[in-house]
Amino acid sequence: MTTTELPVLKPKDFASDQDVRWCPGCGDYAILTQVRKVCAALGARREKTVFVSGIGCSSRFPYYMNTYGFHSIHGRAPAIATGIKAANPELDVWVITGDGDGLSIGGNHLLHTLRRNLNINVLLFNNRIYGLTKGQYSPTSEEGKKTRSSPMGSIDMPLLPLSIALAAEASFVARSVDVSKNLGDVLRRAAEHRGTAFVEIYQDCNIFNHKAFEYATDKATREDATLWLEHGKPMLFGKERDKGIWLDRCGKPKVVELGHGVEEEELLIHDEHDEAKAFMLSRMMHPHFPEPMGVFYQIQDFCYEQLLEQQITDAVERNGQGDLQKLLYTGDCYEVKEQAPTHALHE
Amino acid sequence: MISDSNQPRTIHSATVRFAGDSGDGMQLAGMRFTDASAMLGNDVATLPDYPAEIRAPAGTVAGVSGFQVNFASKDIYTPGDEVDALIAMNPAAFKGNSQDVRSGGLIVVNEDEFNKVNLRKAGYPEGYNPIEDDKLNAKYKIVKVPITRMTEEELAESGLGAKSVGRCKNMYALGLILWLYDRPLDHTIAFLETFFGKKKNLPEVAAANVKALKAGYHFGETAELSAHRYHVDPASIPSGTYRRITGNEATAIGLVAATTLAEKTLVYCSYPITPASDILHYLAAQKHFGVKTLQVEDEIAACCAAIGAAYAGQIGVTGTSGPGVALKSEAIGLAVMTELPLVVVNVQRGGPSTGLPTKTEQSDLFQAVYGRNGDCPMIVLAPRSPADCFDSALEAVRLAVKHMTPVMVLSDGYLANGAEPWRVPEADFLEKITIEHPRPSEGDEPFQPYTRDGNLARPWALPGTQGLEHRIGGLEKEDGSGNVCYVPENHQRMTQLRREKIERIAEFLPPAEPDGPDDAKLLVIGWGGTYGTILTAVRNAQEQGKSVASLHLRHLNPFPANLGQVVAQSEKVLVPELNAGQLRSLLRDRFLVDARGLNKVQGQPFLIEEIEQAIDLMLSGDWGDHASLCPHNHKVTAPA
C-alpha cells in the first residue's frame, strides 16, 4: 500500500481569495489570523473544515477562510452546524457568532447546541454592541449603556456568556481577547476538545464601542485586570504577580494582596473540572475582579453524533440492516386472492 | 323482532362511526373494524376525529372522540357522507354525532351511561333523555344495549380492577358491530393477543378484551340486535398484498424509501406538532435504516438542521404543520437562496395561528407558494389520499435533488390520520434516485458553485471533497462564482434564474388530464385531500348525464404545463377547497379565468353531497354572481 504525503498547510493556505471587508482596526482581523494559524498548526484539512455563521460582522468570517463555509441566517448557525455534523461526523465544524447573533436572536439554538454536545467549536465574538446595524446596545452591553437605540441608557441587565454556557451544560468553556497572545492557545484547546467547545472572545468594535475592553488589552492595566487560568495552579495575577483570588469563610471570592495575611499556598487553585468554581469565575467582572481568561471548564463526555451513530449500530444489531421490501410489507398486510379485477384500486 | 338475521343482506357499502369519550378507546375499535373489513377484501376509507385535549372533561361534547369508516365492495374515495350505523358510548357522543346518521339509520347506544349526571354533562335539559325521545326513535333505529353492565358481568371473574374492566367496553361494542356487518372475529382476537398479550405483556388484559369482544358478538346474535345483518362483498381489485395505511405512515415510509433509493441517509429534523408528530415517531423507530431523527429545540432549528444535513450531502427533511412552517419561512428562503435540496412536509391543520390543531384544512397553499420574503419560488406538491403520501414523499425527494431546490409537500390532517388500503409496491420495482456530486478537483481554479446544468440546477458539491471548497449563504450570489454580489443586473438575473428553474420543472410533470369529457360545460378543479370527494361527486353527476368533468392538481407550483389550455376549455370552473379560495385565486391570477369557489372551513372534509349541490348550482345558473359559496349544515345555497 502506498500513502500519499499530504502537503503541510500554512496559515496563508487557509485564506480565501476574497478581500477582507471588516473596518480597518476591527478586532476581527486578529481573531481571523489566529484561527488560520491554529488550523495550520493542528494540520486541519481545508476540505474537511466547515465554518458556519449567522448574521453580523463576525459572521462574515467564513468568506475569508479557504475551506467550506456557510454564511446562514441570523442566530441559526448552531442549528445548521447541528445538521451538518449529524449528517457527516467526519467534518470539522466551527460556528462563528457574535453577542447579538448568539445570545439574542439565536439564544435558544446556542443553549441547546451546547447541551447536545456535538464535537464542534463555537466562537462567540463579544463586542458588547450591534456593529452591522450601526450601534445599538446588545445583550452583553452594560446597564446604562448609551447607544442610538438607548439614548438615556440601556435598562436591560447584560448577560454573561460563560455563565449561560455553563448553565447550558457546555462541556468546554473558555475566554480570551482578540489581541491576546493567549488566544491561539485557547483556540487550540477548543479545537482539541471532543464536544462542543464554547469560547467567548472579547473583541473591539473600534467604530461603535471602541476600547470596551481596554482594561484587558492595555499594557498598563491588563495584568491587573485579567487573570490567566491554569489548571492546578493558584489563581495569581497582577503585574508583580502579587495578587490572587482567595475564598472567605462564606465561600466568596476575594481579591487579596500576598503578604498581607494571605500566602500563595492559600490561594484558590484552578480546577478545570469543577463546575461550581467555573460558574463563580464566570461571574467575576471588572473592575471588582480581574476577569479570568483561558479555560474555565472542561469535561469529557459523549458527543451527540457518536450517540446517534451508536443507536444506529444498536438498531442494526437488533433488527438487522434495514430492508426496504420488509418495511413496505410490515404492518397489517393481507392478501387479496385471485379474482377477475375490473381495474386497479382507485384508478 | 322478527328474525332473518342469520341470512345477512348483501349491500355494496356502509359507513360506521364509533363515538365515545376520548378515553373510551374509540380510535382502537374503529381501527380494528377497518382492518377486519380490509382483510375481507373491502375497500376502506377512514376519518378519525378527536379533540385537541388528550382527555377533555369526561362526558362533555368537547371530549368526544369519533372514528368513521366507510367500507365497500366497490372503489370508494371518501369516509362516507352519512353514517349508517353509529355507536354512541354516552349522551355526549349521541349529541355530537346523531345528526350525521341517515334517516332510518341505526344508533347503538350504551344505555347504562344515559343517566342523569351524564345527560347533564352532555348539556341536555333536565328530565330529557334523547334515547326516549319519540321523534328521534321514529327517525332512527335506536338500539339500547347495557354495554357497561354486560361488560362488567362478563368480566366479573377476570380478576381485573374496575378501571381495567371499564376499558374493555370498546371491544364489547366492536363485537356487536362485527356481528352486525358479518365480519369474523379471528383477526381482531389475534391482534388483541399480540398487542396486549405479547407487546405489553398483559395476558390477562388480552384475555379480558377477547372475552368482551366475543360477548358483544354473541349478544348481537342472541339478542338479535337488529332486524337485519349486512354483508359487504370483497371489492373487485387486483390480487396482491395490501395494507391499511394512514397518510403519516405513508409519508414516513416514502421518505425512507426515497433515501434508500438514493443511497443516502435520511436526516429528519422536527419539533413535535399536531398532526405531524407521528411521522417523527415512525421514523425514530427506523434507525436500522440509518435514519437519523433529530428532535431539536424549535421549528426554526428543525429547518436549519435539515438544511445543514442537505449541505453536508444527505437527505434533509423537516416535518411540521402550518404554524411551524411560519417559523421556518426564513430558513426555507435560505434553502432557496443556497439552492439546496430540502424537503418540507406540512401536515396542514385549521388556522390561522394555533387554529384547530386536530382538525383538517387546506389553507396553507398561499403560505407554501408565497409565504417567504423576497421573490422566493419553490416546488409545492400535494398528495391526494393517505396512500398517495408515499408517492408524494418519493417525488418530493426526487425533485429536490434533481433540481436542487426546496420542495413543500402539503399533506393535511385528514390524509395524515385517515387510512385506506394500499397495494404494497415491490421495492425492486421502485425507480432509483440517481445523484451525481462533483468529483474532487486538483486544479487551483476556485470551484464555481453557481454554474448550472440543463435544468438550471447548480452542482451539489459536498464538504469533504478536495478542491471544491466554497462558501455559500443567504446573501445574493454572483452568477457562476457564488461570491457575494450586489451588482444590480446580477440580482435581476439571479431572481429570474431561480424562478425559471422552478418553472421549467413543469416540463417534467404529467399533463393535467380531466376525468370526464374535454368539452364539459363545468370543470371542477381540486387539489390535495379533497380528491376523492370531488371525483365521486363529479362521477355521480356524470352518471346523471350532467356535463361536468373533474381535474385534480397534484402539482401546485409549478402547475402542469397544459393547465391553462385545459382550464380554458370549459365554460365554467368550480374550485372546491377547504380554505377561503386559495387555489381559485392562483388560477384566476394565472389564467384570468372566472373560477368560482366552494369554500368550507369547518375543520371537516367535504361531503360528496356538498360538492354535488355546488355542481347543480353552477350548471343551472342558480349560483349567480357569487365568487364563492360555503356549505351550511351540509346545504349549499346561493343567497338571492
How many other CB atoms are found less than 10 A from the CB of residue B411?
Answer: 31
Which of A181, A172, A68 lies closest to A124, judged by CA?
A: A172
Q: How high is the mean pLDDT of chain A? A: 95
Residues of chain A positioned with their CB less than 8 A from the CB of B465: 47
Whole-Å CA distances, B537 to B330, B432, B544 = 40, 37, 11
| Closest residue, chain A, to B477 (C-alpha) | A71
Residue type, A266: E
Q: What is the pLDDT of residue B237?
A: 82
What's the pLDDT band for A224 if we cut at 50, 70, 90? very high
Q: What average pLDDT does this structure show over B463-467? A: 97
State how many domains chain B has: 3
Residue type, B177: I
pLDDT at A100 over 70: yes
State which of B200, B232, B264 marks the end of a domain.
B232
**Could you tell me the strand order of the sheet in which B522-527 lies?**
B548-553, B522-527, B572-577, B596-599, B628-629
Do the Cβ atoms of A345 and B297 come within 8 Å?
A: no
CATH number at residue B25: 3.40.920.10
Q: What is the pLDDT of residue A4?
A: 63
Q: For residue B45, tell me if it sits in a domain.
A: yes
Q: What average pLDDT does this structure show over A179-195? A: 97
Which of B527, B559, B330, B260 lies closest to B411, judged by CA?
A: B527
Q: For residue B4, tell me if it sits in a domain.
A: no
B33-51 pLDDT, tens per residue? 999 999 988 999 999 988 7
B195-207 pLDDT, tens per residue? 999 999 999 999 9
Q: For residue B507, tell me if it sits in a domain.
A: no
Residues of chain B positioned with their CB less than 8 A from the CB of A323: 427
The length of chain B is: 640
| Closest residue, chain B, to A319 (C-alpha) | B288
Q: What is the pLDDT of residue B5?
A: 45
- Asked if B216 and B256 sit in the same domain, the reply is no
pLDDT at B461 over 60: yes
| C-alpha cell at position A211 | 476600547
- Asked if B210 and B311 sit in the same domain, the reply is no
State whether the Cα torsion B280-B283-B285-B287 is positive or negative: negative
Return the minimum-mean-pLDDT range out of A122-136, B168-182, B225-239, B587-601. Answer: B225-239
State whether the Cα torsion B326-B328-B330-B332 is positive or negative: negative
Q: Is B608 left (phi over 0), alpha (psi -120 to 50) or beta?
A: alpha
Cα B224 from Cα B1, distance rounded (Å): 7
**Cα B328 vs. chain centroid, distance in angstroms?**
22
What's the pLDDT band for A263 if we cut at 50, 70, 90? very high
- Asked if B39 and B120 sit in the same domain, the reply is yes
Do the Cβ atoms of A68 and B463 come within 8 Å?
A: yes
What's the pLDDT band for B225 if we cut at 50, 70, 90? confident
Find the distance separating the first CA and the last CA of chain B, reported in whole Å.
49
What's the pLDDT band for B2 if we cut at 50, 70, 90? very low
Q: What is the pLDDT of residue A342?
A: 65
CATH number at residue B363: 3.40.50.970
pLDDT at A54 over 70: yes
Q: What is the DSSP letter of B625?
A: T
Q: Give the one of B304, B430, B471 whose C-beta lies nearest to A71's C-beta.
A: B471
- Asked if B214 and B248 sit in the same domain, the reply is no
- Asked if B30 and B162 sit in the same domain, the reply is yes
Determine contact, residues A60/A71, Cβ cutoff 8 Å.
Answer: yes
Q: Which of residues 46-75 of A touch B (CB under 8 A)?
A: 46-48, 50, 52, 55, 62-63, 65-73
Q: How high is the mean pLDDT of chain B? A: 95
Degrees, nearest 5: CA angle B263-B264-B266: 135
- Asked if B90 and B145 sit in the same domain, the reply is yes
Q: What is the pLDDT of residue A337?
A: 76
Q: What average pLDDT does this structure show over B204-231? A: 91
Q: Give the one of A91, A319, A339 whose C-beta lies nearest to B312's C-beta.
A: A91
| Closest residue, chain B, to A111 (C-alpha) | B297
Q: For residue B548, tell me if it sits in a domain.
A: yes
What's the pLDDT band for B130 if we cut at 50, 70, 90? very high
Q: Is A286 at the interface with chain B, CB within 8 A?
A: no
- Asked if B261 and B163 sit in the same domain, the reply is no
State which of B180, B201, B232 marks the end of a domain.
B232
Residues 6+ apart with CB under 8 A from B543: none
pLDDT at A192 over 70: yes
Rg (alpha carbons) of chain B, rounded to whole number: 27
Q: What is the pLDDT of residue A163?
A: 98
Cα B76 from Cα B577, distance rounded (Å): 20
Q: Give the one of B243, B257, B427 whose C-beta lies nearest to A332's C-beta.
A: B243
Cα A58 from Cα A135, distance rounded (Å): 14
What's the pLDDT band for B330 if we cut at 50, 70, 90? very high
Residues of chain B positioned with their CB less than 8 A from the CB of A66: 469
Q: What is the pLDDT of residue B3?
A: 45
Q: What is the pLDDT of residue B1?
A: 39
Q: For residue B283, tell me if it sits in a domain.
A: yes
For B377, the domain range is 244-429
What's the pLDDT band for B515 if we cut at 50, 70, 90? very high
Q: What percent of chain B has pLDDT over 90?
A: 92
- Asked if B191 and B248 sit in the same domain, the reply is no
Residues of chain B positioned with their CB less than 8 A from the CB of A331: 243-245, 249
Q: What average pLDDT does this structure show over B54-78? A: 90
ipTM of the complex in this document: 0.97
- Asked if B164 and B261 sit in the same domain, the reply is no
Q: For residue B589, tell me if it sits in a domain.
A: yes
What's the pLDDT band for A2 if we cut at 50, 70, 90? low
Do the Cβ atoms of A76 and B420 come within 8 Å?
A: no
Q: Strand B240-246 and strand A333-336: pairing?
A: antiparallel
Residues of chain B positioned with their CB less than 8 A from the CB of A70: 308, 311, 338, 471-473
Determine contact, residues A35/A176, Cβ cutoff 8 Å.
Answer: no
- Asked if B137 and B23 sit in the same domain, the reply is yes
pLDDT at B592 over 60: yes
Q: What average pLDDT does this structure show over A332-340? A: 75
State which of B232, B264, B291 marks the end of a domain.
B232
How many other CB atoms are found less than 10 A from the CB of residue A20?
Answer: 14
- Asked if B157 and B290 sit in the same domain, the reply is no
Q: For residue B462, tell me if it sits in a domain.
A: no
Q: What is the pLDDT of residue B7?
A: 79
| Closest residue, chain B, to A320 (C-alpha) | B288
Residue A61 C-alpha, separation from nearest chain B C-alpha, in angstroms: 10
pLDDT at A236 over 90: yes
Q: For residue B385, tell me if it sits in a domain.
A: yes
Residues of chain B positioned with their CB less than 8 A from the CB of A341: 236-239
- Asked if B135 and B263 sit in the same domain, the reply is no
pLDDT at B384 over 50: yes
Delineate the domains of chain A, giving CATH numbers in brackets: 11-212 (3.40.50.970)
